[in-house]
Copies of this chain bind each other. A is one copy, B any other.
Amino acid sequence: MTLSIAHPADFHVHLRQGVLSELVTPHVREGGFSTAYVMPNLKPPITTTDQALTYKATLEKIEPNVQFLMTLYLSPELTPDEIRNAKNAGIIGVKSYPRGVTTNSDGGIESYEAYYPVFEAMQEVDMVLNLHGENIHILNAEPSFLPHLHKIHSTFPRLRIVLEHATTRAAVEAVKACGDTVACTITVHHLDLTVDDWAGQSWNFCKPVAKYPDDRQALRDIVRKGHPRFFLGSDSAPHPPSNKSTCTPSCGCAAGIYTSPILLPLTAHILESFGALDRLEGFVSTFGRDFYKLPANGSKVMLQRASEEGYTLKDESVVPFWAGKQINWTIPKQ
């Protein structure tokens, strides 16, 4: 059995800097994706059009076959003029994510009124606002963020807003209740994990953390329903293994789950596990592209069942012994 998927797009991905960026950026394509909506959380964060274009050029040099969609970090320095400048330069969106206790923050959740002139300009030029709606207390932060979403949406009804990496039933319901200008990304790992999976397993720890089975069920249900305002943003976040493992009590663990190199196969596997394989193309490609107004280019990616995995050359093909079975040893990629 094979599937042909139109031009998958990952609407939330961390591509980092330096050597780590050289390592992980090609994995977007390895994971089956040809469009990446890129996080601006570098050191320092990307707050200007010039920085974003420089970063884009760096990424394109590493991986010329991926379309990189660039974003700015929402910060007090951002002005309406810079928004118009960014729009003209092809930058797609502005990202708001927790900055801890800084100016314009209220108990960890930002007070957004200070940004209203920026949002006004974004609405005017049709840029997208990405809200990373969780902070501080990991298990209850998302619901407490949702009133901010509603307030911004009602104040700027034509501003396209994406609530990033939803993890709760409350978030799903909140986005559903909004108008057509509000969408939501869901990661593939949040369709798989619950609290029990990261308790004691640091490699499954990310922010926002996976919640309870009922929350996961809400995420799965909205995907199975094929709701066009819910689509994939992997939040794929690479960290060195030393920052993920907790070999000793003093090991720190970074939040983040890395899915880029296996993203499309894994998404197919997990959607199939809850009866939503027929929604794969919508979830990984068409729904997000439609919301972002980015038409597909006609290219396709093929998937096949791993149990049928083989090798083909012209009219010859072969399938190895143990195809589809787990082999516990591997020759590392060079």
Question: Footprint of B on A, CB under 8 Å?
Answer: 2-3, 18-20, 22-24, 27, 32, 189, 203-204, 238-241, 244, 257-262, 264-266, 268-269, 272, 301-307, 309-322, 324-333
Contact = CB atoms under 8 A, between A and B. Distances in A.
A328 B316 contact: no
Contact of A329 (B204, B269, B319): B269
A16 to B, nearest CB: 9
A266 B204 CA distance: 28
A225 to B, nearest CB: 22
A278 to B, nearest CB: 14
Contact of A258 (B18, B20, B319): B319
A20 B324 CA distance: 22
B321 A266 contact: yes
Q: Which 6 A-B pairs give the minimum distances between C-beta atoms?
A: A23-B313, A268-B329, A238-B318, A265-B329, A20-B316, A306-B330
A317 B265 contact: no
Number of copies of this protein chain within its complex: 2
A260 to B, nearest CB: 7
Given A258-B319, A259-B320, A22 B313 contact: yes
A328 B189 CA distance: 16
B32 A331 contact: yes
A327 to B, nearest CB: 5
B23 A327 contact: no
Contacts of A328: 265, 268-269, 272, 305-307, 324
A257 B323 CA distance: 11
